[in-house]
Every structure is written in C-alpha cells, then in structure tokens.
C-alpha cells in the first residue's frame, strides 16, 4: 500500500475546487461519464488494432446510486488502469492539470465548458472519492485509490476479483446532497450524456403492473449512441431529421428546413441545423442550438461561435476543435471560431440557394416563415447578405414573389421618377391601407407587402446598397404624387379660392397637441378621393426609429406627429363646397375678399417700390403706410378666417369629407366615430 501526497504546490486546491463555480457543480457527472466513455473507446480501438485480444463483451457504462448512503458509482468496462497508471494519470497529470486550470480561471466568470478540470471535479460534490480499477493488460491486479479531499491519498492493491474496467465511487457530501437524488442524476445524464457514443444505463426500465410502475430487469439506457449528426446525410430520411428535431425540442412545430454540416478540414465540425417555424417573438427562441464536443453536451449558449443571426436556428453543432475551457471574449477572437462561424454562414447560404434553385415553389411557400432569418442575416452579416441577395424575395399584394432583380425589372418602366429613382411602393398593413393601395394600383403601380418585424431594417439596407432605389409607403403621399414624374395637372382652384377653403377644412380637423395637420390642395384625378390624409415617409421613418429606441432619433420622437390633409382640388364635391360657402357667406365674404385683394395689391406695390431702399433710408410716411397695410391685412384676413371657420364648423359635408379621410386611415375613433355614424345615417335619410 502506498500513501502519498498529491502534487505539493497547492495545499488549498481542494477547498477551491469545492467552492469553485458553484452553479456549475453539476458538470462533475459529465466529466466522469466522459472519462468512462474515453476508456471504453480506447479498449475498442485496441481491439480493432489487435492489441487487445480478449472479449470486448457488453460495454455499457453503469451509473448507480444509493440515495440513502449518498453513494454514486460510475462503472465502465474500458481499459482500466494499472497501479502505475493511477499514479501517473490521477496523482500527477490529472491533478496538475486541474491545478493549472484552477489557477487560471478561479477569478473568471462566464467560462463555457470546463474541460480540463476533469477527474478532480468529483471533489466539488464528494467528501471522499474511490477509484477501483483493473487494467485490461494481462496479469493486472485490482487497484484501489482513495482520497478524502485533502492532498493525502492511499493507493493499494486489493484482492477483490473483478473484470477489467473502472469504478469511480463518490461519497456525496451533505452540502451537495441534491446530487444523491435519482431525479437529479437522471436529469443530468439526460442533459449532458444524451448522445454519448457508448450505452449508459441508469436504473431499470419500468412497466405497469398491478396498478403501479415497477422495475423490470432490463437496464434503462438513457442515451442515443448514434445521433443523426454522426451519420451520413445520404443515410438519413427527411422523416428522421424531423424526428430528431422533435427529440431535441418536444414542443414545437415542424421545422422548415434542415442543414447537415460536415467538415473535417481545417477543423472538425458536424451538426444539423434547423430553420424552425417562428413568426413572432424571435427573441425568446434564441439560443436553442446545442453545442457538443464529441457527443458530450457542452452548452446551449452559442453566441460567439455561430454568427448572431444564426442563433435563431435550432439544432446541434459538434466540434472537438472549439476551445471549451476558455472565456467568452477569448472565444470571440479565436481564429478557429471565426473560421467555423464563416463556414456555417456559407453553408446556410448555400443550402438556401440550393433549395431556391431546385425547388422555388417550395421555397416560396415557406418564404413568409423564412423571411425573418434571411433578413436578419442580411442586415447583420455582410458575407451572408452577399449570397442572400440572389434569393431574398419580395412579396406583393397579389401574393406573388419576386427576387430583387425580377422586381426591379417588373416596375422599372412605370415606377421611375423624374430624378431617375426607381420607386418601390409598399404597404405595412394590407387591410388598414386598403384605400391607398387601390389608389396606387389605379396608377398602375405594384404594391409590396412589407409587414414583417425586420422590413424597416431591410428597406434601409436595400436603399443603402442600391443608389437610385427608394421605398415609399403607400400612405405617404396621394397616389398622384407617390412617384413624382413632373407631369403636373393644372389645379382648377385659384389661390384666393384655396385661401377660402383652407380655414373651412381646418375648422373640422381634430385638435390635439400631439398631432399637426397641414391642409394643402392638389390637382388630382376627379375620381380619386376628395380628401386624403398622408404621412410623410421621412418623418414617419424617423418617428419609427425613435420608437425603436435609436438615441439619435429621439429628437424626432419629441416632435408632434404631422399629417398632410390633401384636398383634391378637382373633385366635384370640393368645388361644390366652395360654391356653397361662397353663396352662403355672400356679400360679406365678397367684400372681405375685395378688401384683402385691394390691400394685398397696395402692399405688393409698396414692397416693390421699397425693395432696393435700405431700412434706415425709408421715409416715415412710407413706413407708416406699410405698417398700416400690414395691420389691415391681418385684421381682414383674421375676420375672413373666422367667418370661414364658423361656416366650416356648420358645414356637415366638409365634416363628412374630413371624417371619411380619417376613417380610411383608421384614425377616426371613439366619440368622433359615433358621431360620424349618426351623421351618415341622417344624411342617407335625407
Ligand atoms: P482528461 O480526461 O482530460 O485526460 P481527467 O482529469 O478527466 O483528464 O482524467 C485524467 C486521466 O485519468 C485520463 O486521461 C485517464 O488516463 C485517466 N482516467 C480517468 N478516468 C478513467 C477511467 N474511467 N478509466 C480509465 N482511465 C481513466
Ligand atoms: Mg476527462
């Protein structure tokens, strides 16, 4: 029997191991089971090379638990260890690598994977650990190593007859008694060991007998030793891919597509990624990809390893080449990780391109669900954008899909404005903007549906990449002005007539501090709506940005909303209204108009006369005269505005026209809507 002291440099490593990384205590099980798997794989390799000539037999790894005594045992039939090997691998190498690991990382949080702590992680949860092992080598004796969490250990040969392999026996400490619960161990095995390549038994399969579940004598195997990512794609059916998806995510709809990753140079990586079916709240769905290293589960937070936009995907990635025992920031700058990330991006893009090329119909069918991934990728990843620009689709209000170049071809001739911009007209609300969509269509324009969560960003990206391409929302201008082709129709209203009508319409607009309404007159087709309310594209975008929390846009956030109330100067109802107001106010309006006209002319004359004279050289007389005119003009204009507003307020037709415009934008609500309905009924009754 040998008594000894393990590595002498750090007396206090055990207390540190025990306390270290509290939340990660559970990884001890992963470490011990993967050691058992390693030992099992080694014996298989030796057998296949002819170096081991005995029976391999059943290689199942058994995990067993005595809940009462808090004893957890992990047994394998792998290579085992001779006494010299225990001394070398456990006392010296494993210990010093654990020590090194501890020193390196004890002050660091957020370490992913903790490979390297290895065997000694058992002391995070156990007061005492025993290793009972017998090497496969002929003539080996059974060896027992015991250590009670101090640098002292014992190593002895024991007489117990046993088969080759190793038992690791943990005496779970009082503090960590949760790890002596069946439930917990079962949970941890399923979390970390679910896809390990050697069968792992924990307890027995159960059956329903005499009104309760009872153990059968069949071992319960908790893992799938050959998960699909380890197989060749040609050997796997679509159904199997789907089944595997549901195994990983028991709740969830059918995935849209899968991508099988498989590379062995310049790094090793396999995996299967899925495009899940999600439309809303993609934030919640993030980080579902599971990362494995040789089939051992490591983590499901893969930021830094896969490109940001691909964290929306689901599935597994397995790579022994991703450094696991390092911090996240290191990971992000690791060149291997960068290569892996680029590779995955390229694979995903290639696969999408392949589906698009080979089966466009299917691609289009799934587009509405795929859109968010592809747009997210385009916006956040230059390399992906480069590839995706050939298969990203646009959808119009007829439900037709176009690639970017197809769409440009489609609209180029009719939707180019006077400055040579190709203008893409879009709606973000097919129902709500129905009237505008019809208006645009009546001009022969195509209307795109851009109602996705990322469409605003996508539009920004597209305009940025493509000079002379602009998106305008269908409600940002009246149809005639959506695309400015500089072919203006004459306006039948004189400026005096406009001045008369403006206060009339203003009087009927809702008054609130938060919204500005600006009345203007446009020369539109007489079969277009009499009044249309639009919202400037630029202002609206700025407002949207500020709502999404862009600091530099907060200035726009504070500004009141502003809408244009566009009165169709050619519409018969508008012209009728003018006539009606004029005849109703009769002489009073006529006189005021004449006075204002006269004063305006005088004012223009004096301004003309004085236009080249410096202010201090103007005579007193002229100054007084000019001030007098200004005052008079203001007075009469005010007077006229007042009587026009008064007339407007009493004019039910004007009210009706304004309300109709509000209504068609979904802006007529509450009491005003009720009144509108009542008034409409009365008007019909007439
Ligand atoms: P690592 O697995 O990274 O080598 P560990 O600390 O987990 O480090 O294990 C140290 C060494 O102890 C292993 O390399 C192996 O040689 C030996 N060992 C641990 N567990 C077993 C086992 N179940 N069977 C055989 N050898 C083992
Ligand atoms: Mg190990």
- Distance, CA of 408 to CA of 393 (rounded, Å): 12
- Distance, CA of 39 to CA of 164 (rounded, Å): 11
Candidate from 30, 32, 33, 38 with most ligand 1 atoms within 8 A of CB, to mutate = 38
Q: Using a 6 Å cutoff on CB, does residue 123 contact ligand 1?
A: no
Nearest atom (ligand 1) to Cα of 74: 23
Residue 113 has pLDDT above 50, yes or no: no
Percent of the chain with pLDDT over 90: 55
How is the beta sheet containing 422-427 ordered, strand by strand? 447-449, 422-427, 469-473
Nearest-CA residue for atom 16 of ligand 1: 89
pLDDT recorded at residue 111: 43
Pairing state of beta strands 71-76 and 165-172? antiparallel
249 CB burial (10 A radius; 0-12, 13-18, 19+): middle
Residue 512 has pLDDT above 80, yes or no: no
DSSP annotation string for 312-342: GSEEEEE-TTS--SEEHHHHHH-HHHHHHHH
567: tokens are 């009165």
Please answer whether residues 210 and 221 qualify as being in contact, where contact means their C-beta atoms are separated by less than 8 angstroms.
Answer: no
Q: For all residues of the chain together, what is the average pLDDT?
A: 87
pLDDT tens, residue by residue, 356-388: 999 999 999 999 989 988 999 999 899 999 999
Mean pLDDT over 123-127 rounds to 92
Mean pLDDT over 602-606 rounds to 89
Q: Using a 6 Å cutoff on CB, does residue 166 contact ligand 1?
A: yes
Region of 281 (left: φ > 0; alpha: ψ -120 to 50; beta: rest) is left
Neighbours of 630 (CB within 10 A): 12
Q: Which ligand is nearest to the CA of 101?
A: 1
Nearest atom (ligand 1) to Cα of 85: 16
pLDDT tens, residue by residue, 652-686: 889 999 999 999 888 898 998 999 999 889 888 77
Q: Which ligand is nearest to the CA of 89?
A: 1
Poorest-confidence range of 87-101, 209-223, 401-415? 87-101
Residue 115 has pLDDT above 60, yes or no: no
pLDDT recorded at residue 661: 93
Nearest-CA residue for atom 18 of ligand 1: 35
- Distance, CA of 75 to CA of 32 (rounded, Å): 10
- Distance, CA of 563 to CA of 565 (rounded, Å): 6
Please answer whether residues 299 and 368 qualify as being in contact, where contact means their C-beta atoms are separated by less than 8 angstroms.
Answer: no
Residue (of 535, 569, 539) closest to 556 by Cα position: 539
pLDDT recorded at residue 288: 80
Mean pLDDT over 524-533 rounds to 88
Q: Using a 6 Å cutoff on CB, does residue 76 contact ligand 1?
A: yes
Nearest-CA residue for atom 12 of ligand 1: 89
Residue (of 646, 501, 509) closest to 565 by Cα position: 509
pLDDT tens, residue by residue, 278-303: 756 554 566 688 989 889 998 887 77
Nearest atom (ligand 1) to Cα of 31: 7
Residue (of 45, 39, 42, 99) closest to 74 by Cα position: 39
Does the pTM surpass 0.75? The reply is yes
Mean pLDDT over 541-563 rounds to 75
- Distance, CA of 370 to CA of 364 (rounded, Å): 9
Mean pLDDT over 169-180 rounds to 96
Residue (of 119, 116, 124, 130) closest to 90 by Cα position: 119
The 8-class DSSP code of residue 613 comes to S
Candidate from 87, 94, 153 with most ligand 1 atoms within 8 A of CB, to mutate = 94
pLDDT recorded at residue 514: 80
Neighbours of 527 (CB within 10 A): 10
Nearest-CA residue for atom 20 of ligand 1: 35
Residue (of 363, 438, 417) closest to 393 by Cα position: 363
Contacts for 594 with CB less than 8 Å, ≥ 6 apart: none
Contacts for 144 with CB less than 8 Å, ≥ 6 apart: 130, 131, 132, 154, 155, 156, 157, 158
Nearest-CA residue for atom 15 of ligand 1: 89
CA of residue 116 to ligand 2 center, whole Å: 7
What residues are paired with 312 via a beta bridge? none
Residue 149 has pLDDT above 90, yes or no: no
pLDDT band at 21 (very low <50, low <70, confident <90, very high): low
Please answer whether residues 323 and 356 qualify as being in contact, where contact means their C-beta atoms are separated by less than 8 angstroms.
Answer: no
Q: Using a 6 Å cutoff on CB, does residue 91 contact ligand 1?
A: no
Please answer whether residues 14 and 150 qualify as being in contact, where contact means their C-beta atoms are separated by less than 8 angstroms.
Answer: yes
CA of residue 84 to ligand 1 center, whole Å: 14
158: tokens are 């024991």
Poorest-confidence range of 65-74, 86-95, 390-399? 86-95
Please answer whether residues 488 and 455 qualify as being in contact, where contact means their C-beta atoms are separated by less than 8 angstroms.
Answer: no
H helices within 417-567, ranges in order?
Answer: 434-442, 455-465, 479-482, 495-506, 537-547, 554-558
CA of residue 173 to ligand 1 center, whole Å: 22
Alpha-carbon torsion angle 473, 477, 482, 484, nearest 10: -140
- Distance, CA of 503 to CA of 644 (rounded, Å): 6
CA of residue 115 to ligand 2 center, whole Å: 7
pLDDT recorded at residue 10: 58
Q: Using a 6 Å cutoff on CB, does residue 143 contact ligand 1?
A: no
Mean pLDDT over 147-157 rounds to 90
Please answer whether residues 302 and 287 qualify as being in contact, where contact means their C-beta atoms are separated by less than 8 angstroms.
Answer: yes
Pairing state of beta strands 422-427 and 469-473? parallel
pLDDT recorded at residue 503: 93
Q: At what angle do helices 572-610 and 620-649 cross, to 10 degrees?
A: 170
Mean pLDDT over 575-599 rounds to 90
Mean pLDDT over 628-656 rounds to 91
Measured at the CA of 354, the angle between CA 351 and CA 355, to 5 degrees, comes to: 90
Residue (of 2, 191, 168, 18) closest to 80 by Cα position: 168
Residue 337 has pLDDT above 70, yes or no: yes
Q: Using a 6 Å cutoff on CB, does residue 126 contact ligand 1?
A: no
109: tokens are 């949080």
pLDDT band at 145 (very low <50, low <70, confident <90, very high): very high
Mean pLDDT over 579-583 rounds to 90
Q: Which residue has tokens 């973000």?
A: 428
Answer with the residue of higher pLDDT: 8 or 661.
661
Pairing state of beta strands 531-534 and 447-449? unpaired
Residue (of 440, 442, 446, 436) closest to 410 by Cα position: 446
Residue 112 has pLDDT above 50, yes or no: no
pLDDT band at 109 (very low <50, low <70, confident <90, very high): very low
Highest mean pLDDT among 335-349, 601-615, 626-640 belongs to 626-640
pLDDT recorded at residue 552: 64
Poorest-confidence range of 20-24, 545-549, 558-562? 20-24
- Distance, CA of 134 to CA of 81 (rounded, Å): 6
Give whole-number Cα distances, 275 to 252, 373, 408, in Å.
12, 8, 28
Percent of the chain with pLDDT over 70: 91
Q: Using a 6 Å cutoff on CB, does residue 31 contact ligand 1?
A: yes
Q: Look at residue 259 and give its three-state secondary structure.
A: strand
296: tokens are 């051992």
Residue 625 has pLDDT above 80, yes or no: yes
- Distance, CA of 325 to CA of 341 (rounded, Å): 18
pLDDT recorded at residue 279: 56
- Distance, CA of 612 to CA of 635 (rounded, Å): 28
Mean pLDDT over 323-335 rounds to 62
Q: Look at residue 77 and give its three-state secondary structure.
A: coil
Residue 24 has pLDDT above 80, yes or no: no
Q: Which ligand is nearest to the CA of 167?
A: 1
Please answer whether residues 143 and 83 qualify as being in contact, where contact means their C-beta atoms are separated by less than 8 angstroms.
Answer: yes
């Amino acid at each position: 029997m040998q008594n000894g002291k393990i590595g002498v440099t750090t007396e206090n490593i055990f207390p540190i191991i025990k306390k270290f990384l509290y939340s990660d205590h559970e990884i001890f099980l992963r470490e011990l089971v993967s050691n058992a798997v390693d030992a099992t794989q080694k014996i298989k390799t030796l057998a296949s090379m002819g170096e081991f000539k005995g029976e391999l037999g059943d290689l199942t790894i058994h995990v067993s638990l005595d809940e009462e005594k808090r004893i957890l045992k992990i047994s394998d039939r792998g290579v085992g260890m001779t006494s010299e090997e225990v001394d070398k691998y456990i006392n010296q190498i494993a210990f010093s690598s654990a020590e090194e690991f501890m020193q390196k990382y004890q002050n660091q949080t957020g370490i992913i994977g903790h490979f390297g702590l290895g065997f000694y992680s058992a002391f995070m949860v156990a007061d005492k650990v025993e290793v009972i092992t017998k090497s496969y080598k002929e003539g080996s004796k059974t060896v027992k190593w015991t250590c009670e969490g101090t640098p002292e250990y014992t190593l002895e040969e024991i007489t117990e007859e046993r088969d080759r392999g190793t038992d690791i026996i943990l005496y779970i400490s009082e503090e960590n008694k949760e790890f002596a619960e069946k439930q917990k161990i079962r949970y941890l095995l399923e979390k970390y060991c679910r896809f390990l390549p050697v069968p792992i038994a924990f307890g027995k399969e159960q059956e329903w007998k005499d009104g309760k579940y009872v153990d059968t004598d069949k071992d319960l195997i908790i893992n799938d030793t050959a998960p699909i990512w380890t197989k060749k794609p040609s050997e796997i059916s679509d159904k199997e891919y789907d089944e595997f998806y549901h195994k990983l995510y028991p709740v969830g709809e059918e995935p849209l597509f899968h991508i099988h990753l498989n590379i062995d140079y310049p790094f090793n990586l396999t995996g299967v990624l899925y495009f899940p079916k999600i439309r809303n709240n993609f934030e919640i769905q993030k980080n579902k990809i599971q990362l494995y290293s040789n089939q051992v589960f490591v983590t499901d937070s893969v930021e830094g390893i896969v490109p940001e936009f691909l964290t929306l995907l689901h599935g597994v990635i397995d790579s022994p080449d991703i450094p696991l025992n390092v911090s996240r920031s290191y990971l992000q700058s690791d060149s291997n990780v960068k290569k892996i990330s680029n590779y995955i991006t390229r694979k995903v893009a290639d696969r999408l391109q392949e589906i698009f090329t080979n089966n466009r119909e299917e691609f289009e069918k799934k587009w509405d669900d795929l859109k968010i991934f592809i747009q997210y990728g385009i916006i956040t990843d230059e390399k992906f954008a480069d590839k995706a620009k050939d298969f990203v689709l646009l959808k119009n209000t007829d439900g037709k899909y176009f690639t970017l170049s197809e769409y440009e071809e489609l609209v180029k001739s009719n939707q180019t404005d006077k400055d040579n911009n190709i203008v893409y007209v879009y709606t973000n609300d097919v129902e709500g903007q129905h009237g505008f969509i019809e208006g645009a269509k009546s001009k022969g324009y195509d209307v795109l549906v851009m109602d996705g969560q990322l469409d605003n960003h996508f539009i920004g990206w597209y305009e940025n990449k493509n000079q002379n391409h602009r998106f305008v929302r269908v409600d940002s201008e009246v149809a005639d002005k959506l695309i400015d082709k500089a072919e203006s129709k004459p306006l039948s209203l004189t400026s005096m007539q406009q001045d008369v009508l403006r206060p009339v319409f203003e009087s009927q607009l809702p008054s609130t501090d938060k919204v500005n309404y600006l009345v203007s007159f446009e020369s539109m087709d007489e079969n277009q709506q009499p009044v249309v309310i639009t919202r400037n594209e630029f202002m609206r975008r700025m407002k949207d940005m500020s709502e999404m929390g862009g600091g530099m846009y907060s200035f726009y956030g504070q500004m009141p909303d502003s809408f244009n109330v566009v009165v169709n100067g050619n519409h018969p109802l508008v012209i009728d209204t003018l006539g009606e107001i004029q005849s109703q106010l009769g002489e009073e309006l006529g006189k005021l108009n004449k006075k204002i006209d006269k004063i305006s002319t005088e004012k223009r004359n004096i301004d003309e006369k004085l236009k080249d004279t410096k202010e201090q050289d103007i005579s007193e007389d002229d100054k007084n005269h000019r001030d007098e005119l200004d005052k008079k003009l203001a007075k009469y204009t005010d007077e006229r505005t007042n009587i026009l507003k008064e007339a407007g307020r009493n004019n039910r037709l004007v009210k009706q026209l304004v309300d109709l415009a509000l209504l068609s934008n979904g802006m007529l609500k509450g009491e005003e809507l009720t009144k509108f309905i009542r008034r409409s009924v009365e008007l019909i009754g007439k």
